[in-house]
Amino acid sequence: MRFSAILAVTVCLQAQTFTLESAEGLHTRKVEVSAVTHKGKKGLRITQPAAAAGENEDRVALLPGVTFESGEIEAEISGEPGPGAAGGARGFVGIAFRVADEPNKFDAFYLRPTNGRADDQVRRNHSVQYISHPAWPWPRLRKEEPEKYESYADLQPGEWTRVRIVVEGVKARLYVHGGEQPVLIVNDLKQGSLAGKIGLWIGPGTIGHFRNIKVTKK
């Protein structure tokens, strides 16, 4: 009994939860962060400042005090195009993981919420995406290995979406809406297996919202 109790505590200590009702402690890069209530839930609003328009896709707010290599990341996220966004804006929003000390290198899964219920099936097929910044952005992945790193999921812009990312070595799985099966499987993470930080990620022209991040290390 005593051994079981100690084991339970050890496992529990591997999980970290971030309610994200405040931006305190976050390290931001090319984004602006504020605490808001969105769709009746408290969280953080993340946008791209005008000065960072046209910059590369390393727009992140890094969680404090967590280093992650393998395990699970759970979150509620929401994305939608902002006012004046370009026609190609999709509300890109996601989670970056294994972020390097200088946060321009990371792996990430993200959503394109406006694609989830589009009338065009090809757009639907591009609803969720894996990238590895900076060497493997989505255009290179789509050109060199089409269909392998993106897939379909039922999404709506501006709505809260539950996501779960499971990472093990060079493999990762993305789950949405509490589903038992992944919507996207990656068996060859481009950075290999290494440890890094976790970031709240947005793409160009996006208003993103984030809340209830839970990180469980393996």
The verdict on residue 1 lying in a domain is: no
The verdict on residue 12 lying in a domain is: no
pLDDT value at position 55?
57
The verdict on residue 9 lying in a domain is: no
Two structure tokens written together for 169: 């070595």
User: Domain of 101: which CATH number?
Assistant: 2.60.120.560
pLDDT value at position 178?
97
Show the CA angle centred on residue 140, arms to residues 134 and 145, nearest 5°. Answer: 125
The verdict on residue 210 lying in a domain is: yes
pLDDT value at position 5?
35
Residue 12 has pLDDT above 80, yes or no: no
pLDDT value at position 54?
61
Residue 57 has pLDDT above 80, yes or no: no
Condensed to tens digits (0 to 9), the pLDDT of residues 166-208 reads: 999 999 999 999 999 999 999 999 999 999 999 999 999 999 9
**14-28, 50-64, 148-162: range with lowest mean pLDDT:** 50-64
pLDDT value at position 75?
98
Phi and psi angles of residue 188, each rounded to the nearest 5 degrees, phi first? -145, 65
The verdict on residue 156 lying in a domain is: yes
Residue 102 has pLDDT above 90, yes or no: no
Residue 53 pLDDT class (50, 70, 90 cuts): low
Condensed to tens digits (0 to 9), the pLDDT of residues 115-151 reads: 999 999 999 999 999 999 999 999 999 999 999 999 9
The verdict on residue 7 lying in a domain is: no
**Number of domains forming the structure of the chain:** 1
**42-51, 52-61, 69-78: range with lowest mean pLDDT:** 52-61
pLDDT value at position 50?
77
Taking the C-alpha atoms of residue 161 and residue 128, their distance in angstroms, rounded to an integer, is 12
Condensed to tens digits (0 to 9), the pLDDT of residues 65-101 reads: 999 999 999 999 999 999 989 999 999 999 999 999 8
Provide the domain limits for residue 186. 17-217
The verdict on residue 102 lying in a domain is: yes
Amino acid in position 69: E
The verdict on residue 39 lying in a domain is: yes
Using CA of residue 64, residue 74, residue 200, residue 196, what is the dihedral sign? Answer: positive
